[in-house]
């Protein structure tokens, strides 16, 4: 798996972005889903480009970067509920909290290096074509692998508001990543 593609996997598996989306129902104020996704990506990549050598030398600083730019936009509770399924309801609040932290740590361990190699030229957002009055919106992107092929990575924003990874893209393109990420997080939280 190419590093650029692995970064997209990190975004997919990390869970859900809260949408402050003008393209969702009027009750959710803020930028359009596409504008939000583009801004988060640009902010992260700008900081990464400015300090890439520092992050390569100190992985703990890379986690700070992810915490600053990505995690504020991800609904980790929702992602954890999706991963744990029926087991979420029987977990205590402390177990849930520990699982979420273990899940994020597992993703960083599995895909953190990919962030270091990711560059803006490998990510392209496809123009939004959704219904502005809809209760959900899909932001489509293409991630260029190191071999030049482009892989679609889609994010679905719900009116709740949240962005969820497209299950078809995840199951078709990322089977190995799907198998390793949640499983290692589950072991770490147990």
User: What pLDDT digit, counting tens, does each position of 167-182 carry?
Assistant: 444 434 433 333 344 4
Q: What pLDDT was estimated at residue 15?
A: 38
Looking at per-residue pLDDT, the higher value among 182 and 116 belongs to: 116
Q: At what angle do helices 33-57 and 93-117 cross, to 10 degrees?
A: 80
Q: At what angle do helices 93-117 and 3-14 cross, to 10 degrees?
A: 160
Residue 150's pLDDT band, with cuts at 50, 70 and 90, is: very high
Q: With the C-alpha atoms ordered 45, 49, 54, 57, is the resulting torsion angle positive or negative?
A: positive
| Model pTM above 0.75 | no
* C-alpha 52, offset from chain centre: 20
Q: What pLDDT was estimated at residue 183?
A: 39
Q: Supply the CATH classification number for the domain 3-189.
A: 3.10.450.710
Residue 158's pLDDT band, with cuts at 50, 70 and 90, is: low
The structural domains of the chain, with segments of one domain joined by +, span: 3-189
């Amino acid at each position: 798996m190419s590093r650029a593609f692995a970064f997209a996997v990190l975004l997919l598996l990390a869970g859900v972005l809260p949408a402050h989306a003008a393209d969702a129902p009027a009750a959710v104020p803020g930028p359009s889903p596409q504008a939000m996704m583009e801004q988060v990506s640009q902010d992260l990549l700008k900081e990464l480009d400015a300090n890439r050598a520092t992050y390569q030398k100190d992985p703990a600083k890379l986690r700070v970067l992810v915490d600053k730019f990505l995690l504020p936009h991800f609904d980790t509770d929702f992602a954890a509920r999706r991963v744990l399924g029926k087991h979420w309801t029987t977990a205590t609040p402390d177990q849930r909290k520990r699982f979420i932290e273990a899940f994020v740590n597992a993703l960083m361990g599995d895909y953190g290096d990919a962030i270091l190699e990711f560059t803006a030229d490998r990510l392209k957002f496809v123009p939004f074509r959704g219904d502005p009055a809809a209760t959900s919106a899909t932001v489509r992107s293409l991630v260029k692998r190191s071999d030049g092929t482009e892989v679609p990575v889609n994010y679905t924003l719900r009116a709740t508001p949240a962005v969820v990874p497209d299950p078809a893209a995840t199951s078709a393109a990322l089977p190995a990543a799907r198998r390793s990420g949640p499983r290692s997080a589950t072991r770490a939280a147990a």
